[in-house]
Amino acid sequence: MICDSFYEALAMQAAAAEAAIPDMPEHRFSLRYRRKKKVLIKAYEKSKEQSSSFLSTFHKLRLHQKIRAAVLITVLMLLLISAGSVFVNYSIGGFSGYRQSTHTDVSFDNWEGSPETLYPRYSLTYDLSGWNKEILCDEKNRYSEQYKIGNKYIIYTYETWDRYTEHDPESDFDEMHPGGEFVQDRTLHHINADGSEKLIWTDGSYWLSLEYAGITYAEAMKIRGSSYAPAYRITYDMSDWNMEVVSDDFLMRWVAYDRNDHYFDFVVEIKEAYQNVRLNTEGTEPESREVNGHEALYFVQPDGVSQYLAYDNGDYIFEFVFDIEYDEALKIIDSVKFM
């Protein structure tokens, strides 16, 4: 609804203003930049929860109160816009650029109806054919599925560890799950009161667990070992590059490569997260490029070396930041596959 969308837009602008970073990000995605994006995402999620209560309150107002409220909101919006001398000066591949003197705030326009999370993160590659499968939970930050055959069962679960915000998944692992013992691959083995058993482990972004009964510990460890997270990956030969997975969660996967003082960063994220992304565009002009059959936003940053490219693949936003030759970068970009 109009009021709902208008309030969400206002909340987004307020979140962006509060989370604004005074310094321009460097040519690579800085940690500060990543934190800002997560703040924006959380602020937007909160705004969506608040929007329904705002709308119900708005409907209860009398006509003259509604008019005054609408005028006030309009004035606030104008102040937000005029304060930064913001104006839309380009739209490329679904991205709108709000140009300012030293930078551009870029947002993706049409994210409604797009996936709210990245592709399902983990799955079991172990042969469980013949077992009955049931999805027990499929939420934004948690997924759980059950397999049953005869008197045997397996419950496979993964969830983001930020649900346990008071604990460090590396140092407080045993404190969170008392009564178990560590086995191979930093896995906690726990025996429940009913005799069923549970394996618990973490990859730094997710907590994963395998609860089971009717099968042996050895078989359970084989099933645990088959846990795999498919993702959009670069298939171009990058074996002579150093690789670091900077972030990998339900909203964004960010992989950074570097070699001989050169770098190549690849980010895939949900469309809703790509809002008010601040890019250093002083003295540069954006270009439209065709990549993998999609229109991409591209520009060379002010240093004349660092390059930025982003496009919508239909479900998610792909971002690339690099300082190598464009033709070589394009070969890497073209090699991205879901696997």
Percentage of the chain lying above the pLDDT 90 cut = 43
At 331 the pLDDT is 97
Residue from 296, 206, 201 nearest 251 by CA: 206
Q: Is the pTM of this model over 0.85?
A: no
Rounded Cα distance between 76 and 211, Å, is 53
Reply yes or no on whether the pLDDT at 121 is more than 70.
Answer: yes
First to last CA, the chain: 38
Structure confidence by residue, pLDDT tens digits, 255-278: 999 999 999 999 999 999 999 888
Cα 227 off chain centre by: 21
pLDDT band with cut points at 50, 70 and 90 for residue 149: very high
Domain with CATH 3.40.1000 in the chain: 123-228
284-312 mean pLDDT:
93
Rounded to the nearest integer, the mean pLDDT of the chain is 78
* pLDDT (average), residues 196-205: 86
Tokens of 74: 């309009």
- Per-residue pLDDT of 2-55, as tens digits, reads 444 444 544 454 455 445 444 444 444 444 344 445 545 554 455 455 444 444
Give residue 220's pLDDT.
95
**Residues 171-198, mean pLDDT to the nearest whole number:** 72
**What pLDDT does residue 55 have?**
46
- Examine the pLDDT at 68 and tell me if it is beyond 70: no
Q: Read off the pLDDT of each residue in 63-90 and give the average, rounded to a whole number.
A: 54
- pLDDT, tens digit, 9 for 90 and up, residues 212-248: 999 999 999 999 999 988 899 999 999 999 999 888 8
pLDDT confidence of residue 58: 44
Q: Which of 1.20.120, 3.40.50, 3.30.70, 3.40.1000 is the CATH number of 123-228? A: 3.40.1000
Kindly tell me if the per-residue pLDDT of 187 is higher than 50.
yes
- 80 vs 193, residue with greater confidence: 193
From the CB of residue 43, how many other CB atoms can be counted at a distance below 10 Å? Answer: 17
Position 4 scores a pLDDT of 47
Quick check: 279 pLDDT over 60?
A: yes
